[in-house]
Structure 1
């Protein structure tokens, strides 16, 4: 099967979507009879593009966000239409059997079967937490483009249900294929971990949050819980600054907690594995997730997990996490104290977490995804 994939996520920052595309296609390329080509809107290559430098990428994002929303929206629309025109020319030559769309919505393409991966519906459910121009762009194209999808892939049964209830798409056209932690996420030895902590100027003991520092991640409630908890353990926030207001940062001014909060910015996957291996626990009080990959990454590294009992997170974590109500700072503070002070509880969730993480694999993901691709091409014949 000759697959053409939208490779634009592979050229940005290594975050959730780009991790998905990179890990999936690393495994798909190993399958017999599979040929993958990567399309960035201008060029096609048979090699996976290199990920962007995090510093350069962050500077370019800030420059874009300084522009008026109407200008960014117009530029996005023009880029999308040019992307689709180039895509149609490519696929009209009979060179590919299937196109995999990895961004917001399907492309205007009918000549070959098209699979769309939907990661979550936050642009509908939490529109106020996203930049306005992104919402305009999504709303303008989504309804116009959804009929071009042959089938839809999604990453949790929770999102599959939302696709049915919110988009009105029958479950028979939607396939769930769960994500997995990348193979490099495993418990690291103490010497390597300590060297990484010194290099990153981080304390020896800490709680860890991983993800973009954006509204859905519920960081104000985490900060509130840290203020309530009696423990003086530091908190490390690992992830790029994201978007939205950062009023919770302002609340730290003049607070004793200020000296216990460490913000790393975006870190490499290798450093992330060191952070998971060092942390007392991952604290993930998110309001809404399509999957919640940091939960499995932490578990694979032997890091106990405290996470919200909402959206996809119970599906991902199973019985291997301490669950909290993301609206309850007091309850979160109690779970923080429990995990910090009780070694037996930490060991219990370390063991449960490792077993849970081992249930998921990218090899299995690729095989199941390929079955969906085959289904789409056979239905088209």
Structure 2
């Protein structure tokens, strides 16, 4: 009896979803009363006690049905009672738990006929239980898939590493400033600045910066695209860096504010991490963000440049900063990976127990027939 986890997302990217699994895996291994097998399709550099890392063929988004056959074979080899994917892959008859990160493609009108998003739909249908990373994500999941049993969908908020994401001391902040050349106050923006439908809403922030004539601050972009909007924007220095967690915590600690004007988030991990470092947050009330920020952020509508400018100025006032920092530290203390991992473990054990009774057999027998038909079509195509 084992939990087989497909590490496919590590092949695709090393962004937020990979960070979630890196945090969860050691805690699952410590808590779960079954061995964990992690399938390495590339990009995994993990050595965790209780987690066996097994090489596995790279993922290709065309022959998904045949990929499911391979996944089922490895699940049977390891006597898996539960399967989980870091993204949207599925076996055939091994019961699966699906971690639902967001409903961005559905909510923002992506082309859902694309194969990757069809596989997401398949993964949702295959899973016997769904763990959503926010109440808003769960609400959207049930809205788009009303046939799902609400009792099979639960919520587990993401966590933070308090030993890493904490307020840095002044000497560490000063060293970071010297190394990066950020000698003036600076705002920080985390993640991609260019997406389909612009849902991260980065353009609002940078449009606001361009209108601010008083050149007494700079901008640090962490992660995302290598090319920033401009090395100088009206005299404001804008730089891009890729930072590890320890350096990111220092960057948050020294920043004037994290600017996070997203129009949709499955959770919004940078917001929780920034607050845990004593960094004020400018954000919106869209998606799951109110669940993360509570009343601890400076909230804007997300569509007005003047409103953004007003928020950027307001967060530099001492009274506003003190209030946001204190509230943010208290709010961030609610989010811990131990709680998240416990919820995943509990659901995995429930699926394993139900599977042993034969509860899912009829469903997965029919599923296997249908997936085989899809595989035949893929070959012909």
TM-score, normalising length: structure 2: 0.82
Partner residue, 2:71: 87
Of 100, 121, 124, the match for 2:84: 100
Partner residue, 1:304: 280
State whether structure 2 residue 189 is matched by structure 1 residue 209.
yes
Of 210, 215, 229, the match for 1:227: 210
Check whether the contact 2:185–2:255 (CA below 8 A) recurs between aligned residues. yes
Offset of residue 144 of structure 1: 4.1
> Whose helix proportion is higher, 1 or 2?
1
Partner residue, 1:52: none
Partner residue, 2:4: 4
Check whether the contact 1:194–1:204 (CA below 8 A) recurs between aligned residues. no
Check whether the contact 2:130–2:154 (CA below 8 A) recurs between aligned residues. yes
* Equivalence map 1:126-275=2 (5 Å): 126-128=108-110, 136-168=114-146, 169-183=148-162, 184-214=164-194, 215-229=198-212, 231-232=214-215, 233-241=217-225, 249=229, 257-275=233-251
Partner residue, 2:258: 282
Offset of residue 229 of structure 1: 4.2
Offset of residue 202 of structure 1: 2.6
1:74-116 deviation line (CA, Å, top 9, x unaligned)? 95213x445323211111235222111120x341421x22011
State whether structure 2 residue 101 is matched by structure 1 residue 119.
yes
Mapped to 1, the partners of 2:205 and 2:45 lie a distance apart of 43
Q: Which structure 1 residue ranges, 4+ long, deviate > 6 Å from structure 2? A: 42-46
Shift in alpha-carbon separation, 1:330–1:170, aligned structure 2, 3 A: farther
Mapped to 2, the partners of 1:11 and 1:2 lie a distance apart of 23
Partner residue, 1:374: 349
Mapped to 1, the partners of 2:22 and 2:224 lie a distance apart of 19
Equivalent position SS for 1:282: strand
Equivalent position SS for 2:220: strand
Check whether the contact 1:106–1:148 (CA below 8 A) recurs between aligned residues. no
Mapped to 2, the partners of 1:219 and 1:46 lie a distance apart of 32
Shift in alpha-carbon separation, 1:42–1:217, aligned structure 2, 3 A: closer
Check whether the contact 2:218–2:236 (CA below 8 A) recurs between aligned residues. yes
Mapped to 2, the partners of 1:91 and 1:43 lie a distance apart of 21
Question: How many residues end up aligned between the 2 structures?
Answer: 341
Equivalent position SS for 1:222: helix
Structure possessing the higher radius of gyration over alpha carbons: 2
The two structures, once aligned, show a CA RMSD in angstroms of: 2.8
Mapped to 2, the partners of 1:299 and 1:231 lie a distance apart of 27
Mapped to 2, the partners of 1:172 and 1:32 lie a distance apart of 22
Equivalent position SS for 2:99: strand
Check whether the contact 1:218–1:285 (CA below 8 A) recurs between aligned residues. yes
Structure 2: stretches of 5+ with no match in the other structure: 52-58, 358-381
Offset of residue 154 of structure 1: 1.0
Structure 1: stretches of 5+ with no match in the other structure: 50-73
Check whether the contact 1:202–1:262 (CA below 8 A) recurs between aligned residues. no
Offset of residue 200 of structure 1: 2.6
1:7-51 deviation line (CA, Å, top 9, x unaligned)? 1223554321001111111211221624221112599999459xx
Check whether the contact 2:190–2:223 (CA below 8 A) recurs between aligned residues. yes
Equivalent position SS for 2:30: coil
Check whether the contact 2:69–2:92 (CA below 8 A) recurs between aligned residues. no
Mapped to 2, the partners of 1:358 and 1:322 lie a distance apart of 18
Offset of residue 312 of structure 1: 0.4
